């Protein structure tokens, strides 16, 4: 077998800029490669806004798009993709051995392309401030620092590129460099010096990070290396661009390295150990370009053909961090969660081998309304993606309904099982007929089951997966422990609530650790579940139909007229379920606060229904400047209301799905809300004016501050960013890669 490792997965590793062609060449040689991507597919290239120097793209190409193109090309030639982490390496005998997710595995050959990780300054509090104003990726985090001063540390091409990118958002960019001139290329220097937003600070180093009382970056302390003069510089964020360290920890003292840890090669791609090849940044300390990385990988791809051809062993390739895989394992049990398992038979090592690229997915959801809801939107967008896709994937959806029936089209079937209503207004029903679910799954025989609920359906899905010997994943649509227990504090008391939360955490661990993967639409919430002990968390992105939710046509005036909103009034929009767990009461109460302040310039439009509808009806009677639409099932109509609004009000700190916030931004309407939601990171514009406290008064203050801005101009940038990053096709491409990886890694014992 041939295996290939590319990239180290640690907390700071975000920026492996190189790309990999190793998956193409072995497949062209009929070697059936396996590509292991790590937990951060795409690496640094996926965070690069524009790649201008890769051959074949005269106008340049977005880094994420180039990654997707290469991923598709590798899949076309039969490459398969998966994840895991390599922590140790042993080449003391004929078989090369890699420790992957706590299990030793054997392979006949290996390509190491583990890349390099961003280097930081090593100052006090550095680890605590990463993600709180300290970062090494302007493309990832630049949009969070709009209209505030930031600084970039470094003097090379990377520092120049980061500085230029940040000028799109920041009010001022300080470029801090320890020398009196830059080391960047001439063209990059010219661009930096021509930009009036960038101010170089020569002969200067950062000696201290200064956080505020909330632990966010407030300033840095600087020292002039020539005069030793020190001063404090107020910045909201520090972007470090001072180079990279090679990810070679697993190979230290086992392969030849130079003093800085870069692997030493001969003939461009060969290590001193037979069967071990090296490619990319892990050995390239000079060029560090995508195109040169491809060249080295291409050579490695040719070189490793010799071993499989001599031995008759088919090859596996692992890309980016993580592992060499083999049919031989030291232990009797398989690798848990994301590692590939030992073969069920001698015919092939992986169930997801030759040509097994198409997947039948079955979605189960216990609570469902045909009228609206984020879960409904997600499920039907998935059906549309499969129906319109070029692959032969198939989809089965099982939901509660008014009667038992099945609707079929070319690639999908929707089973509706007669279920009782739990809300007459919203038409939500609860699926309780578990026997019917079992019969449908037996008939359909899906390749993968996805459960959307943490109740009976979740347990039933797990049991069905065992019986059918197929993997089951859970989608954590709602952070239900916090949403429901917070409201019960006044009944349970502080100690009772703490006890209930402890029991709920134990329940979450017990349930979600039985899934092969837990999909979570928030990185912050993913970290929280990991802290709770959920071992298989996979952050995923949300999506939006950018063909419908977009800033055009300009029909806002007509829509506002139909609502009776004056031209001078600021139209506020809330869309979502009217429920206590959504903190919808803030959406009503802030309107009363604004009215008491004499702010008649605001008009609130509420779209949605639920148990709290009476509060909206009472608000309509009291202050008048309120419109209520119980449901808007037509997405085109909903997009029209988004475009008509000046501000979308996001009143809940307990929101985990946040589709409405994305849809609003896609239509060019900015979002205002309360800081602390798990969805904060999907807001693509400045949040400095958002409410810091979870109260109606604080939300009213934030609305007043935001309304004083040029909202139309503020909404243009997030509209473009949402289209690029969150379109459903892009989101589902990533999600289906996870499905295939889970399918490939699964084995039921």
Active site residues: 137, 140-141
The whole-angstrom separation of Cα 716 and Cα 670 is 9
Contacts 24+ apart (CB under 8 A), 561-569: 563/603, 563/605, 563/627, 563/644, 564/627, 565/603, 565/605, 565/627, 565/644, 566/603, 568/601, 569/600, 569/601, 569/602, 569/603, 569/625
Would you state the structure tokens that stand for residue 325, as one six-digit string? 């895989």
Unique residue bearing structure tokens 């198939």: 394
The whole-angstrom separation of Cα 377 and Cα 363 is 13
Would you state the structure tokens that stand for residue 729, as one six-digit string? 């096709």
- CA pseudo-torsion sign 233, 235, 241, 247: positive
Determine contact, residues 395/382, Cβ cutoff 8 Å.
Answer: yes
Determine contact, residues 255/273, Cβ cutoff 8 Å.
Answer: yes
Chain centroid, CA 477 distance in Å: 14
- Give the three-class secondary structure for 116: strand
Closest CA relative to residue 378, chosen from 251, 458, 475 = 475
**Residue 553, preceding bond cis, omega within 30 degrees?**
yes
Determine contact, residues 261/284, Cβ cutoff 8 Å.
Answer: no
Cα–Cα distances in angstroms (integers) from residue 306 to residues 74, 108, 278, 325, 391, in the given order: 21, 11, 15, 19, 33
Would you state the structure tokens that stand for residue 659, as one six-digit string? 């589709």
Closest CA relative to residue 287, chosen from 192, 157, 138, 112 = 157
- Give the three-class secondary structure for 451: strand
**DSSP letters of 368-380?**
E-SS--HHHHHHH
The whole-angstrom separation of Cα 728 and Cα 601 is 36
Rg (CA), the chain: 27
Cα–Cα distances in angstroms (integers) from residue 510 to residues 378, 471, 480, 493, in the given order: 26, 17, 15, 26
Closest CA relative to residue 578, chosen from 530, 615, 605, 547 = 615
Determine contact, residues 280/20, Cβ cutoff 8 Å.
Answer: yes
Chain centroid, CA 392 distance in Å: 26
The residues, any chain, with a CB within 8 Å of residue 668's CB and separated by 6 or more, are 550, 551, 643, 712, 715, 716, 718, 719
**DSSP letters of 413-434?**
EEEEEE--EEETTTTEEE---H
């Amino acid at each position: 077998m041939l295996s290939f490792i590319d990239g180290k997965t640690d907390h700071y590793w975000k920026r492996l800029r190189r790309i990999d062609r190793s998956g193409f060449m072995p497949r062209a040689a009929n070697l059936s490669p396996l590509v292991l991507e790590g937990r951060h597919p795409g690496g640094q290239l996926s965070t690069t806004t524009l790649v201008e120097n890769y051959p074949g793209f005269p106008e340049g190409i977005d880094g994420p798009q180039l990654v997707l193109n290469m991923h598709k090309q590798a899949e076309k030639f039969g490459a398969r993709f998966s994840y895991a982490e390599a922590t140790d390496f042993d080449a003391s005998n004929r078989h090369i051995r890699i420790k992957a997710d706590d299990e030793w595995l054997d392979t006949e050959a290996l390509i190491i392309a583990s890349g390099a990780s961003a280097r930081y300054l090593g100052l006090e509090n550095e680890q605590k401030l990463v993600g709180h104003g300290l970062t090494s990726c302007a493309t990832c985090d630049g949009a969070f620092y709009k209209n505030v001063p930031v600084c970039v540390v470094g003097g090379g091409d990377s520092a120049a590129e980061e500085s230029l990118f940040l000028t799109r958002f920041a009010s001022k960019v300080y470029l801090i460099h320890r020398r009196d001139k830059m080391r960047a290329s001439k063209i990059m220097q010219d661009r930096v010096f021509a930009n009036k937003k960038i101010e170089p600070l020569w002969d200067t180093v950062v000696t201290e990070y200064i956080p505020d009382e909330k632990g966010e970056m407030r300033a840095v302390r600087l020292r002039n290396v020539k005069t030793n003069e020190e001063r404090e510089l107020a910045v909201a964020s520090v972007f470090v661009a001072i180079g990279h360290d090679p990810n070679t920890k697993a190979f230290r003292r086992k392969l030849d390295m130079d003093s800085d840890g870069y692997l030493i090669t001969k003939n461009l791609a060969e290590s001193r150990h037979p069967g071990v090849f090296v490619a990319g940044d892990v050995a390239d300390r000079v060029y560090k370009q995508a195109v040169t990385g491809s060249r080295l990988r291409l050579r490695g791809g040719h070189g490793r053909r010799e071993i499989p051809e001599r031995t008759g062993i088919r090859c596996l390739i692992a890309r980016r961090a993580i592992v060499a895989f083999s049919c031989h394992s030291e232990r009797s049990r398989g690798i848990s969660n994301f590692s590939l398992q030992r073969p069920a038979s001698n015919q092939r090592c992986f169930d997801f081998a030759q040509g097994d690229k198409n997947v039948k997915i079955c979605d189960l959801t216990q609570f469902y309304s045909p009228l609206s809801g984020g879960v409904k939107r997600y499920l039907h967008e998935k059906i549309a993606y499969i129906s319109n896709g070029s692959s032969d994937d198939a989809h089965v959806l099982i939901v509660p309904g008014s009667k038992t029936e099945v609707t079929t089209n070319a690639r999908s079937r929707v089973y509706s099982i007669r279920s009782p209503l739990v809300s007459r207004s919203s038409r939500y029903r609860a699926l309780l007929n578990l026997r019917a679910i079992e019969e449908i799954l037996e008939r359909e025989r899906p390749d993968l089951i996805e459960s959307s609920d943490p109740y009976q359906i979740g347990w039933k899905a797990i049991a069905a997966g065992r019986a059918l010997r197929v993997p089951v994943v859970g989608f954590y649509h709602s952070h239900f422990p916090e949403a429901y227990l917070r409201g019960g504090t006044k009944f349970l008391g502080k100690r009772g609530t703490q006890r209930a939360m402890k029991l709920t955490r134990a329940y979450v661990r017990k349930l979600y650790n039985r899934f092969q993967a837990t999909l979570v639409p928030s990185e912050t919430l993913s970290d929280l579940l990991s802290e709770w002990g959920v071992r298989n968390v996979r952050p995923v992105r949300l999506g939006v139909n950018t063909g419908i939710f977009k800033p055009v046509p300009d029909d806002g005036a007509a829509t506002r007229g139909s609502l009776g909103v004056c031209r001078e009034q600021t139209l506020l929009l809330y869309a979502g379920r009217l429920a206590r767990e959504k903190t919808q009461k803030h959406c009503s109460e802030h309107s009363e606060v604004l009215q008491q302040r004499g702010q008649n310039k605001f008009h609130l439009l509420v779209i949605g229904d639920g148990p709290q509808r009476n509060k909206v009806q009472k608000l309509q009677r009291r202050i008048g400047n309120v419109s209520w639409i119980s449901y808007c099932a037509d997405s085109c109509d909903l997009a029209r209301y988004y475009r008509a609004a000046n501000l979308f009000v996001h009143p809940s700190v307990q929101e985990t799905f946040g589709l409405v916030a994305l849809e609003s931004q896609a239509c060019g309407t900015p979002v205002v809300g309360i800081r602390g939601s798990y969805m904060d990171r999907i807001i693509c514009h400045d949040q400095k004016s958002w409410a810091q406290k979870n109260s109606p008064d604080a939300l009213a203050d934030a609305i007043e501050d935001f309304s004083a801005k040029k909202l139309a101009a503020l909404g243009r940038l997030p509209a473009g960013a949402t289209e690029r990053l969150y379109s459903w096709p892009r989101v589902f491409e990533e999600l289906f890669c996870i499905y295939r990886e889970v399918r490939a890694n699964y084995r039921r014992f």
